[in-house]
Chains A and B, each alone.
Chain A
Amino acid sequence: MTGDRRSVVGWLLGGGFTASVASFAYPVLKFLMPPDVPEAAVNEVAAGKLQDIAPNAAKIVKFGSRPVLLIRVNETEFKAYSAICTHLNCTVQFQQDSHQIWCACHNGFYDLNGKVVSGPPPRPLEELTVHVRGQDVVITRHA
């Protein structure tokens, strides 16, 4: 009788202990291995390869939580600005024919220096820095 009770208790204790330790160890071990994207992108974002964007063309890149307008002005020169219009926060776009940045919402225009040319926007667009590392285009922001 005692032997049976001993083994029941033993099984409960042993089994429960093992199971609970496993349920603690599993998350910890998973935690230790870094995820596929090893770090949070804060100040720097890879915006693609050189061949992804043609001269006199632009694309919108996600920078943290904000959209950024990356413009390839010519073969060698890049510009990057916050794509959030300073008037009412619509997303701006690049106009290839006039080489200007345009906001469709209320017809605001910015030049390629981000300065307001016409329309309602009250402030220039925030500029970000673009570096080309080999074939990669990288956008960074000063803190």
Chain B
Amino acid sequence: MNAPLARLLLLTGLAPLSLSAAGKDSCLDCHASLSGSLQEPVARFANDIHRQAGIGCATCHGGDNTSTDPKISMSPARGFTGKIARTKVPALCAKCHSDAGYMQKFKPQQRVDQFAQYQTSVHGKRLAAGDAAAANCVDCHSVHDIREVKNALSPVHPLRLPETCARCHASATHMAGYKLPVTQFEEYRTSVHWEALSKRRDLSAPSCASCHGNHGAKPPQATSVAAVCGTCHALQEDLYKKSPHQPVFSGMGVAGCVACHTNHGVQSPSEKMLAGDGAVCVQCHDAESAGGKVAAGMHGLIRGLESSVARSSAILLRARVAGMEVSDSLLRLQEAQEALVKARVAVHAFRTDAVGQPVKEGMKIAEQSFRDGQSAMQERDVRRAGLAVSLIAILITIAGLWLAIRRIEARRMEPQER
């Protein structure tokens, strides 16, 4: 066995399966013995999903992979195209990936409209117009070592997708010609969505493609942003659509949710957005205006419920530390927490009475829990009082015993003294 082939076998680690189902692959054999960028694809190809499906180099690059003579294997007469031009990549991939009959042989459920979507995207349109710098298939999916999306090493796996988009979209040099900002990735990395994805490993959390689309990537229109956010935040979208903000914002061409929450660096919202330092409402509404009053009203209601829940929680925890069993009450307090969540969601109706409803329910529960805490502390006091009573009885008995001992021993002494 020649050395290059041995190296190849070692690299692939699958000696009997090292060759594609189609048989010997002279492309891999030869290129394995080359160096630099001509050899690199061979090593990467070991991990490629196409290789596992029995598809070899010649399928994309043309040529004859049964011949070891370069004049034959890389002859244009045999269809050899060499390195594929960037602008031609999507059409080439689409030759198989848009062929429903062909894809059914490998993955019947796999979509076959990626190319069609791509052509509607900003990337696709620019590429079609001749801009070779625009993103094509291999920019995101990699080339020669293409892995499935669900493989954690794939550049388009949910956990890695943002950094893949950022390769271009966070590069000032790359974006210079397009007049696009490059702060999105940095902003996204500060967001709650990225925290959910990266820290909690919640793969359902949104990243770039969730809102912008993947193959048909383009930013959503201002009027449809709320619908995009509403795929997960359905309640908020519902309320917003019926609220006074919706017609105003869409008339102004302002994107619904983004106006207050920003788009990429979405932070954990709180009632601080309604009033006080860093409030968002004041950016448009005067404090004295109708809108300003609603903002202040909602803020006050939510703050009120928050402090009531905190007060109840504090007294229950104090009771627990004092040894009282309050787990049932603490659990019921959870419902007040849920009412708080509902109240915060209700803000999106931008009406004081909409927030007032869940706040009222929450206050009822929080106040009941506070009373539970108070009675737990009272019970503790009753126990201590009971203890005091029994301790007094005990002390009296001990005193009586001691006096009895003294009396007995004094008496016993007397006869001896006599």
Contact = CB atoms under 8 A, between A and B. Distances in A.
A54 interface: no
Nearest to B405: A9
A22 B404 contact: no
Interface in A1-49: 5-6, 8-9, 11-17, 19-20, 22-24
B393 A107 contact: no
Interface of B: 202-205, 230-235, 327, 331, 338, 341, 345, 386, 389-390, 392-401, 403-404, 407
A15 B389 contact: no
A14 B401 CA distance: 10
Given A5-B407, A12-B403, A119-B204, A20 B234 contact: no
A106 B230 CA distance: 9
Interface residues of A, number: 28
Given A13-B403, A15-B400, A104-B235, 16 more contacts: A5-B403, A9-B400, A11-B400, A12-B396, A12-B397, A12-B403, A13-B400, A15-B396, A16-B395, A16-B397, A16-B399, A23-B389, A106-B233, A107-B234, A120-B205, A120-B232
Nearest to B404: A9
B394 A65 contact: no
Nearest to B395: A16
A23 B232 contact: no
Nearest to A87: B204
A23 B233 contact: no
Contacts of A6: 407
A13 B394 CA distance: 10
Nearest to B396: A16
Nearest to B202: A120
* Secondary structure class of chain A's binding surface, majority of residues: helix
A65 to B, nearest CB: 6
A140 interface: no
Contacts of A14: 400
A28 B203 CA distance: 56
A20 B397 contact: yes
Nearest to B232: A106
A91 interface: yes
B338 A107 contact: no
The list of the 4 closest CB pairs from A to B, nearest first, reads A120-B204, A16-B397, A16-B396, A12-B400
Contact of A20 (B230, B232, B341, B390): B390
A114 B250 CA distance: 39
A105 B401 CA distance: 69
A121 to B, nearest CB: 8
Contact of B400 (A17, A90, A104): A17
Nearest to A5: B407
Nearest to B342: A104
A14 B399 CA distance: 11
A107 B215 CA distance: 24
Contacts of A19: 392-393, 396-397
A13 B399 CA distance: 8
